[in-house]
Amino acid sequence: MNEKALWKLSYGLYVVSTRYGSELNGQVANTVFQITAEPIKVAVALNKNNYTHELLKKSKVFSVSILEKETPMSLIGTFGFKSGREIKKFENVKYKMGGSGVPILIEHALASLECEVETEVDVGSHTLFVAKVINAEVYKEGEPMTYDYYHQIKRGSVPKTAPMAMEVPKKEYKKYRCRICGYIYDPEKGDPEAGIPPDTPFEELPEDWVCPLCGAPKSAFEEL
Ligand code: FE
């Protein structure tokens, strides 16, 4: 069996959020898909270890924010590589509360869905939640982020920001990889979101610089 065949499946990138009591949480998920049109139903698969999963098992309502292609790595890092058991993910982002009482991330979202769980399927490591869509909104036009595009950015093969046609002399800086999340620091690109300009070698990053995806310290990085 060639498991690489599965890499050819295409997915989007979403933030799935819920609330139980005073706890708001959300996580990045790529497995969100519409399954029926009448009534409109979607399915979402969440890992059982995730805090969002724990809350959703009790709340039975969730929102899906469809991320735009320009979503910064820092936002994906907050919702994808950090746990709501340790940080308050909604503290520094733009969101609103939906009619069902769930938080809806609107920062970098093209659209959102609000959903009520109807069926849960235990599929081993994950639970598949089948849900009725009770509300849907569009915030702006644009291209949605895809899972494939996100991986290209992570590998550093796609610039974090729209590329400017600028010819700069190529310098030979070494790339470094985060051992925690796999993020690759590319000196040519720097880390503009953290104020690190392009052409900053890894060695010259400030000591308190952290992985833009998972927040790991410089020491967690290895030379490629
Ligand atoms: Fe990392």
Please answer whether residues 182 and 211 qualify as being in contact, where contact means their C-beta atoms are separated by less than 8 angstroms: no
Q: How far apart are CA 46 and CA 53, in angstroms?
A: 6
Ligand 1 centre from 80 Cα, in Å? Answer: 11
pLDDT value, residue 167: 32
DSSP classification of residue 81 = S
- Per-residue model confidence as pLDDT tens digits over 45-97: 999 999 999 999 999 999 999 999 999 888 998 898 888 998 999 998 999 99
Ligand 1 centre from 155 Cα, in Å? Answer: 12
Ligand 1 centre from 182 Cα, in Å? Answer: 6
Q: Indicate whether this model's pTM tops 0.85.
A: no
Please answer whether residues 205 and 84 qualify as being in contact, where contact means their C-beta atoms are separated by less than 8 angstroms: no
The SS3 of residue 5 is helix
Ligand 1 centre from 135 Cα, in Å? Answer: 35
Mean predicted confidence (pLDDT) in 129-158: 88
Please answer whether residues 26 and 15 qualify as being in contact, where contact means their C-beta atoms are separated by less than 8 angstroms: yes
Ligand 1 centre from 211 Cα, in Å? Answer: 5
pLDDT value, residue 156: 59
Q: Given pLDDT bands bounded at 50, 70 and 90, which one contains residue 140?
A: very high
Ligand 1 centre from 222 Cα, in Å? Answer: 11
